Structure 1
Amino acid sequence: MPTLSPALLFDSVSLVWDDGTLALDGVSGSFGSGRTGLVGRNGSGKSTLLRIAAGDLAPTSGQVIRSGEVAYLPQRLSLDVDRPVAELLGVAGALSALRAIESGDADPRHFDALGDDWDVEARATAALAEAGLPSGALERTIGSLSGGEAILAAIAGIRLGGAPITLLDEPTNNLDRGARARLADMVRSWRGTLVVVSHDVSLLELMDDTAELYANALSVFGGPYSQWRAWLDAEQDAARQAERAAAQVLRREKRDRVAAERTLASRAHMGHKAQVEKRVPGIVSGNRKRAAEVSAGRLRTEVREKENEARAALDAAERRVRDDQAVRIDLPDPGVAAGRRILSVGDAEHSWIVQGPERVALIGPNGIGKTTLLERLVHSEPGSGEISGTVRAELLVEHVGYLPQRVDGLDEAATVLENVRAAAPALPVVELRNRLARFLLRGDAVQRQVATLSGGERFRVALARILLADPAPQLLVLDEPTNNLDLDTVDRLLEALAAYRGAVLIVSHDDAFLARLGPDLTLELTAEGVVER
Structure 2
Amino acid sequence: MRSSLTFHDLSFGWPDGTAVLDGVDLDVGPGRHGLVGANGSGKSTLLRLLAGELAPTTGTRHVSGDAAYLPQDPLRGDEQTVADVLGIGSTLDALRRIESGDTDPRLFDAVGDDWDIEDRAGVELDRLGLAGVGLDRSIGTLSGGELVLLSLGARLLRRPAVLLLDEPTNNLDRVARGRLHDVVTTWRGCLLVASHDRSLLSSMDDIGELREGRLRWFGGRYEMYEQVVAAEQEASRRAVRDAESDLRKQKRELADAQVKLARRRRYGQKMFEQKREPKIVMGARKRAAQVSAGRLRGVHEEDVAEARERLDGAEQQLRDDREITLDLPATAVPPSRVVLSTQELRLAHTGTPVELDLRGPERVGLVGRNGTGKTTLLRTVMGEIAPAAGEVSLLVPARHLPQRMDVLDDHLSVVDNVRRNAPDADPQHIRHQLARLLFRGRSAEQLASTLSGGERLRATLACVLLAEPAPQLLLLDEPTNNLDLLGVRRLVEALASYDGALLVVSHDEHFLADLELDRLVDLDASTA
TM-score by length of 2: 0.82
Alpha-carbon RMSD across the aligned residues, in angstroms, is 4.1
Task: Work out whether 1:123 is the aligned partner of 2:120.
Answer: yes
Q: Which moved more, 1:434-443 or 1:467-476?
A: 434-443
Which residue identity is paired with 1:456?
A: G
Whether the 8 Å contact between 2:5 and 2:26 is mirrored in structure 1 is: yes
Shift in CA distance, 300/334, structure 1 to aligned 2, threshold 3 Å:
closer
2:174 paired residue number: 177
Q: Counterpart of 1:156 in 2: which secondary structure?
A: helix
2:149 paired residue number: 152
CA distance in 2, matches of 1:330, 1:226: 37
2:427 paired residue number: 429
Residues 2-151 of structure 1 aligned to structure 2 (within 5 Å): 7-9=5-7, 11-17=9-15, 20=16, 22-30=18-26, 32-33=28-29, 34-59=31-56, 61-68=57-64, 69-102=66-99, 105-134=102-131, 137-151=134-148
Which residue identity is paired with 1:400?
A: A
Whether the 8 Å contact between 2:125 and 2:150 is mirrored in structure 1 is: yes
Which residue identity is paired with 1:28?
A: V
CA distance in 1, matches of 2:154, 2:103: 28
Q: Counterpart of 1:67 in 2: which secondary structure?
A: strand
Q: Counterpart of 2:483 in 1: which secondary structure?
A: coil
Residue 6 of structure 1 and its aligned partner are, at CA, apart by: 6.3
CA distance in 2, matches of 1:350, 1:123: 37
Q: Counterpart of 2:236 in 1: which secondary structure?
A: helix
1:186 paired residue number: 183
CA distance in 2, matches of 1:179, 1:94: 28
Q: Counterpart of 1:529 in 2: which secondary structure?
A: helix
Q: Counterpart of 1:321 in 2: which secondary structure?
A: coil
1:523 paired residue number: 521
CA distance in 1, matches of 2:251, 2:205: 48
Whether the 8 Å contact between 1:125 and 1:135 is mirrored in structure 2 is: no
Q: Counterpart of 2:339 in 1: which secondary structure?
A: strand
Whether the 8 Å contact between 1:357 and 1:500 is mirrored in structure 2 is: no
Residue 203 of structure 1 and its aligned partner are, at CA, apart by: 2.1
Whether the 8 Å contact between 2:145 and 2:173 is mirrored in structure 1 is: yes
Residue 87 of structure 1 and its aligned partner are, at CA, apart by: 3.1
Shift in CA distance, 530/333, structure 1 to aligned 2, threshold 3 Å:
farther
Deviations 1:35-89 (A, max 9, x none): 2332222233322232222222234x21341223432112222345343323322
Task: Give the aligned length.
Answer: 513
CA distance in 2, matches of 1:442, 1:246: 26
2:460 paired residue number: 462
Shift in CA distance, 422/35, structure 1 to aligned 2, threshold 3 Å:
same
Residues 253-402 of structure 1 aligned to structure 2 (within 5 Å): 313-345=310-342, 347=344, 351-379=355-383, 388-389=387-388, 394-402=392-400
Which residue identity is paired with 2:48?
A: R
TM-score by length of 1: 0.81
Shift in CA distance, 187/249, structure 1 to aligned 2, threshold 3 Å:
same
Residue 487 of structure 1 and its aligned partner are, at CA, apart by: 1.9
Shift in CA distance, 263/458, structure 1 to aligned 2, threshold 3 Å:
closer
Deviations 1:72-120 (A, max 9, x none): 1122223453433233223344444544555555554444444444443
Whether the 8 Å contact between 1:130 and 1:182 is mirrored in structure 2 is: yes
Shift in CA distance, 167/346, structure 1 to aligned 2, threshold 3 Å:
farther
Q: Counterpart of 2:12 in 1: which secondary structure?
A: strand
Q: Counterpart of 2:135 in 1: which secondary structure?
A: helix
Residue 494 of structure 1 and its aligned partner are, at CA, apart by: 2.0
Whether the 8 Å contact between 2:402 and 2:477 is mirrored in structure 1 is: yes
Shift in CA distance, 332/189, structure 1 to aligned 2, threshold 3 Å:
farther
2:410 paired residue number: 412
2:194 paired residue number: 197
Q: Counterpart of 1:379 in 2: which secondary structure?
A: coil
Shift in CA distance, 508/297, structure 1 to aligned 2, threshold 3 Å:
closer
Residue 354 of structure 1 and its aligned partner are, at CA, apart by: 1.8
CA distance in 2, matches of 1:256, 1:333: 52
Task: Work out whether 1:242 is the aligned partner of 2:244.
Answer: no
Which residue identity is paired with 2:51?
A: A
Residue 241 of structure 1 and its aligned partner are, at CA, apart by: 0.6
Whether the 8 Å contact between 2:39 and 2:484 is mirrored in structure 1 is: yes
Shift in CA distance, 134/228, structure 1 to aligned 2, threshold 3 Å:
same
Whether the 8 Å contact between 1:39 and 1:213 is mirrored in structure 2 is: yes
Shift in CA distance, 31/438, structure 1 to aligned 2, threshold 3 Å:
farther
Identity %: 47
Whether the 8 Å contact between 2:4 and 2:162 is mirrored in structure 1 is: no
Residue 134 of structure 1 and its aligned partner are, at CA, apart by: 0.8
CA distance in 2, matches of 1:27, 1:80: 37
1:473 paired residue number: 471
Residue 293 of structure 1 and its aligned partner are, at CA, apart by: 12
CA distance in 2, matches of 1:454, 1:303: 43
Residue 238 of structure 1 and its aligned partner are, at CA, apart by: 1.1
Whether the 8 Å contact between 2:8 and 2:25 is mirrored in structure 1 is: yes
Shift in CA distance, 518/328, structure 1 to aligned 2, threshold 3 Å:
closer
CA distance in 1, matches of 2:208, 2:97: 47
Whether the 8 Å contact between 2:324 and 2:494 is mirrored in structure 1 is: no
Shift in CA distance, 256/337, structure 1 to aligned 2, threshold 3 Å:
closer
Identify the match of residue 494 of structure 1 among 481, 492, 495: 492
Which runs of 5 or more residues in structure 2 are unaligned?
272-276, 346-352
Q: Counterpart of 1:137 in 2: which secondary structure?
A: coil
Q: Counterpart of 1:7 in 2: which secondary structure?
A: strand
Q: Counterpart of 1:127 in 2: which secondary structure?
A: helix
1:276 paired residue number: none
Residue 492 of structure 1 and its aligned partner are, at CA, apart by: 2.5
